[in-house]
Structure formats: C-alpha cells, structure tokens
Amino acid sequence: MASTSWRAAASEKKDDFKFKSPCLLFAPEKDTNLCNFFSFQTETVARQLTSPELQGKKYLSSKGWILTITQDWSSTTLFHPCSRLQIQLPKVTMIQDWDDDYVRKLAYYKSSDEAWTRIDTWYGAVSDFTFYNGKLYAIDYLGRIMSCDIEGDNPTIGQLGTTLPGELVHNILEKLYIVESSESDTLLVISQEGVQVRPIDEEAEEERYTYGTYAFQVFKVYLSTNTWIEIKDLGNRAVFLGHNSSFSFEASDISGCKSNCIYFTDDCQESYSSHEEQEGEEQEEGEDFRIYDVRDGTIVLHEGGGGGKDIGIYDIRDGTIVSHFKCDSYHPINPPMWLE
C-alpha cells in the first residue's frame, strides 16, 4: 500500500499528464513499454504512455502508484505514472521450501523499515486483500478472512470468526475480492462468478471451453461481531474490481460513475497464456477457446487468444451486465487493472 508521504512526493513533482481517477491500465502487446490508460468516463483510451520502467516486469497497483517487480525478483520499485517518480524498495525475498507449484503469501513494507515483513499464517493461498482502518485484511480461496495489525513493530495476526458459506467458495468458477465499505467497521466480500475457464458442455466429446462473468454475489462483513449478510444494494457506492487492484468510491464523487454497480475487468489468466500457446504451437484439432458475451448471452470464438474481453458493469439491483470496454491485451503476466 502506498503511504501518505509517497503520495505527497508524487504530487510535488511537476508533470504534464494526470488521469482522472479511476482509469484502466492495460498493456496492448505481449512485452512492451507502451501502456494505455482507458477512461471509463469518456469510454476512450485517454492516453498512451511509453513507460520503460514497466517493460518486462510484473506490476501491481495501489493509490495511483504502480509496484514493479522484475521477473527474477531482483528489484522492486514504486513508480508513479503521472510524475514518473520512482522509489526503490528493498528486494522481495522469494518464499523457500513451499510444497506446491503455486502459492500466494502476504508481506508488507513500511518506509521506516529496511526489509519486507512476511506475514506467516495457517491460511492457504490468498485471493485478495485490502488495507482498512490501520489493518490489513485478506481473504483466502476458502472464504476465510484474516486481519493483521501492522501499525506496531510486531504484526498481530487474527482470524475473524466468520467464514463465507461453503457452497459459495467451493465453486471453482468464482474469484473472491475484499474491499472497503461505505460504513465504518464493515468490509465487502464479493464473489465474481464465471471468471475462470469452464467447459461449454461437460458431456460433449469435443473439448470446447468458454469463460466470462455472468453474476456477482456481495456480502457485508461486520468486523465487530464477526458476522456477514448477503446484500442486494450498495446505495451510492460503486465498486471497481480487478487483478491486484480493487476499491470502492461514492459514485456521486466521480463524474459519470454509476451507483450500485460493480465495474470489473478481465481477470481470466488462462486467456492471456492461451495467446502465447497459440503463438508457439498449433492448436489441437477439435479444441477451441470461446468467450461468453455479457451483452446478449452468446458464446463466440475467442480468436487469437489474449485478454481484455471480459470487461463490464454489473448492476446489483437487477443483475444485468453491460459490456463496458473491450481491449486487446496480450501481456502474459499483467492483466488490465484499475488505477485509483
């Protein structure tokens, strides 16, 4: 999470480009230093920016900053796309001796520290996290919520006494996000359904697959009582969901923003990797990859692979989804993400 002092440093540096928050950052090509900034207000690419600071790196987003990590984990940097300010951070130490092929663990860094502090928990892979009221909250793929107080010298870790219903989190087609709420002492947990690749017909002989968001479930978690309820109304709130960058705003504070809606991006990792596979080898006969069109419910051939096709706006009141912006994004490790 970007600190107040870092944000102040970026604002003091003169720049010739500012984006109106929030905007969608995506790389149109596989490995390039070109980045597009899409404005949901004008529904156009507001700016193309050449950023050699991002090329060949994994990047995450927080409070308008971009955290960049080289693929060999040798360098970690905070980069502000407007001011072009860079802040070198300590090297992230890779996790040693894990017993699985893929893990997600938490670590944090404070500007007064000399190294990252790893948070050791009994939890599985982390699905999403947020920093709220001085604490770090994370949710794993089993729907368990963890809180960590990182304000002092020694982090205090605790598990909230609530877990989301098993029938929700055991569906492999879902991804769980956790974001701040408009009310104090509450968080929102949101399940995005359809984000993962799934067979079009499990009984068919042909291997035909699709992906595409078709619904959301929203839960309000009360931190003081460790309870949750499912809600169907966000009020004046608008939620922005995406890979490594999710947050919420009062819709009335942002021109053109729709209240009671969820703005989501294409988080299907397989769609990006499928582009590399199609470039490197021929597709097997009878096997194809399709995408669910959120506008009319049709399933169309996903030619050429790549991501950026499953981007839309979900209205929580009536469950409708409208296509928002479809981009071609072929970056294998950096899906489109929101800048706050």
- Report the pLDDT value the prediction gives residue 101, as an integer from 0 to 100: 47
Categorise residue 212: left if φ over 0, alpha if ψ from -120 to 50, beta otherwise: left
pLDDT at 11 over 60: no
- Report the pLDDT value the prediction gives residue 248, as an integer from 0 to 100: 92
pLDDT at 300 over 60: no
CA distance 316 to 234: 8
pLDDT range class, residue 331, cuts 50, 70, 90: low
Segment 62-68 shows an average pLDDT of 86
Share of the chain above pLDDT 90, in %: 14
**Alpha helices for 55-199 (secondary structure H):** 166-169
Per the listing, tokens 């995506």 go with: 26
- Report the pLDDT value the prediction gives residue 278, as an integer from 0 to 100: 46
Categorise residue 304: left if φ over 0, alpha if ψ from -120 to 50, beta otherwise: left
CA distance 226 to 219: 13
Share of the chain above pLDDT 70, in %: 65
List the domain boundaries for the chain: 4-339
pLDDT at 237 over 70: yes
Q: Which of 177, 195, 171 is nearest to 244 (CA)?
A: 177
Express each pLDDT in 264-297 by its tens digit.
887 766 655 554 444 444 444 434 555 555 555 5
Q: Which of 71, 68, 40 is nearest to 53 (CA)?
A: 68
Categorise residue 111: left if φ over 0, alpha if ψ from -120 to 50, beta otherwise: alpha
For the chain, what is the mean pLDDT? 75
Express each pLDDT in 114-124 by its tens digit.
888 887 765 56
Architecture of domain 4-339: 6 Propeller (2.120)
- Report the pLDDT value the prediction gives residue 261, as an integer from 0 to 100: 94
- Report the pLDDT value the prediction gives residue 32, as an integer from 0 to 100: 66
Express each pLDDT in 127-137 by its tens digit.
888 988 888 88
- Report the pLDDT value the prediction gives residue 247, as an integer from 0 to 100: 92
- The amino acid present at 29, given as its one-letter code, is E
